[in-house]
A and B are shown apart, each in its own frame.
Chain A
Amino acid sequence: MRAVVTVIGKDTVGILANISSACAKHQNNILEVTQSVMQDLFVMIMLIDISKSNIPFTEFSDEMSALGTEMGLSISAMHEDIFNSMHRI
């Protein structure tokens, strides 16, 4: 099972570090990372493997949103199927 973590907001120090350590804490393996600046916004998209996660994905998703609030960013963790189903036939 894989999920997509999306981070949108103002670029600051430690975004990648904070998110990677949260992933590592819960045994979520980072498979791919892309980052860019779109319309003055920092956008990072991370594909993670959640099959060995030590917490339910709903809790991880909550933790990511909370981390986002704390860092002043919009962070969402969503199951990859939502993107596959919408954009692939």
Chain B
Amino acid sequence: MINTKDIMETITMIQDEHLDVRTITMGISLLDCCDSDIDKVCERVYEKITRYARNLVKTGEDIEKEYGIPIINKRISVTPIAMIVASCNEKNPVRIAITLEKAALACGVNFIGGYSALVQKGFSPGDRELIESIPEAMSVTDHVCSSVNIGSTKAGINMDAVKLMGHTVRRTAELTADRDCIGCAKLVVFCNAPEDNPFMAGAFHGAGEPDCVINVGVSGPGVVRAALAKAGDCDLTSVADIIKKTAFKITRMGQLVALETSKRLNVPFGIVDLSLAPTPAIGDSVAHILEEIGLECCGAHGTTAALALLNDAVKKGGVMASSHVGGLSGAFIPVTEDAGMINAARTGCLRIEKLEAMTAVCSVGLDMINVPGNTPAEVISAIIADEAAIGMVNSKTTAVRLIPAIGKNVGDELSFGGLLGGGPVMQLNTWSPARFISRGGRIPAPMQSLKN
């Protein structure tokens, strides 16, 4: 018989501490859907997605019930649509976005990601059309997520794309202003984007991936916080050990769900994303872990160091628990999706400058941050450039998901509902980077030696 204590620990983690599998994401290649006729492309895209993913949601629900572990989202990621649009004579990517939306509804998934372009070194056919269509695509669909990779450690930063994305983010907010600018919550700008990420809004199915694959993202900030609370005033070596052990257990559960899903759907298992993904629910917050480690409020001095410890320990604990690890892997800090972050932003303890520093030591980047509605496009571009520079130089993924709150100012709030949450509009530095952004061109790839 399994140890009673172990059984009770698992049950408590699930029932009281919000342990869950955040997402099962099926990656589907659309490379074989290319055609010069966009009607044929849409037809093939819809047919392939609905054929491959028709049992995804049902399988997820069965596993959820049999193992007693909540699986919050079932999602699909597809080949970056810019690559598919490149083959069409009529370059109207919004039609493919609408097709993706229909396919998502037919399969019953929560999100579909891959309305994406990879332009870190320059624009190829289809890329510019796709980026320019993002605002419209985000406003006419509810389930489609978009991402654009504008930089990498090997390629440097494409500042023409950065400039374009500043305008794109603003325009997306304007077109969805009647829905609290939600379009921007489905749009992320990356540096060093991973090709196997199961998390939205940045999931896409990279060109090096197999035809179809199952990737799983785990969650569990509440479990880590509860374990630390139980341990009391131990030193930081013990804190790191507790996080590692907890991350191991969380990831083992993710690995089990991933293998079972892969077996039942007869689709290869890709990776488990070792993540601590918060939700707006009380008790499911990464900020609260940092506060449990000993900060009065997330954003105080010491936050970056505590987050570095947390992020590293999550990876160390998780990596042995899974046969393949990938995606974004680390602690997420999306402000509006985390009860503790929302609170810290409201009180003014957590500011964007601190968040930027935090992104240097954890997974992803400036995520789900509401900014004033009158923020000019070049300021958004400059924030993207700063964040991309952190990713480029440190050989890590960084991302920016800002929501310009059209018609609102600092202190006002946006509310998206569900996992996306909501929160206050945060103050930005208002000095102008316009001349820097208008230069365009590329920031060269950084040195990989003489590290200092």
Contact = CB atoms under 8 A, between A and B. Distances in A.
B4 to A, nearest CB: 6
A83 B69 CA distance: 11
A87 B2 contact: yes
- Chain B interface main SS type: helix
Interface in B1-36: 1-4, 6-11, 15
A57 B1 CA distance: 20
B66 A78 contact: yes
Contacts of A58: 62, 65-66
A32 B6 contact: no
B256 A81 contact: yes
B249 A87 contact: yes
A86 B132 CA distance: 46
B252 interface: yes
A27 B385 CA distance: 63
A85 B65 contact: no
Find the residue from A43, A77, A79, A80 having the highest chain B CB count within 10 A. A79
Given A6-B11, A61-B65, A61-B68, A45 B4 contact: yes
B255 interface: yes
A76 B252 contact: no
A6 B2 contact: no
B66 A32 contact: no
Find the residue from B3, B7, B252, B256 having the highest chain A CB count within 10 A. B7
Contacts of B7: 4, 6, 45, 83
A83 B7 CA distance: 6
Contacts of B253: 82, 85-86
B67 interface: yes
Given A79-B66, A85-B256, A86-B253, A32 B10 contact: no
A82 B10 contact: yes
By size class, the interface of chain A is: 20 to 34
Interface string A56-82: 011001100000000000101111111
A85 B66 contact: no
Find the residue from B3, B67, B252 having the highest chain A CB count within 10 A. B67
Contacts of A36: 4
A61 B65 CA distance: 7
Contacts of B62: 58
Closest 8 CB pairs of A and B: A78-B68, A87-B6, A85-B256, A58-B65, A82-B67, A85-B252, A86-B249, A83-B2
Interface of B: 1-4, 6-11, 15, 62, 65-69, 249, 252-253, 255-256
Given A8-B11, A58-B66, A76-B68, 17 more contacts: A6-B8, A32-B1, A34-B4, A38-B8, A43-B8, A45-B7, A57-B65, A58-B62, A78-B66, A78-B69, A79-B66, A81-B67, A82-B10, A82-B68, A83-B7, A87-B2, A87-B249
Interface of A: 4, 6, 8, 31-32, 34, 36, 38, 43, 45, 47, 57-58, 61-62, 74, 76-87
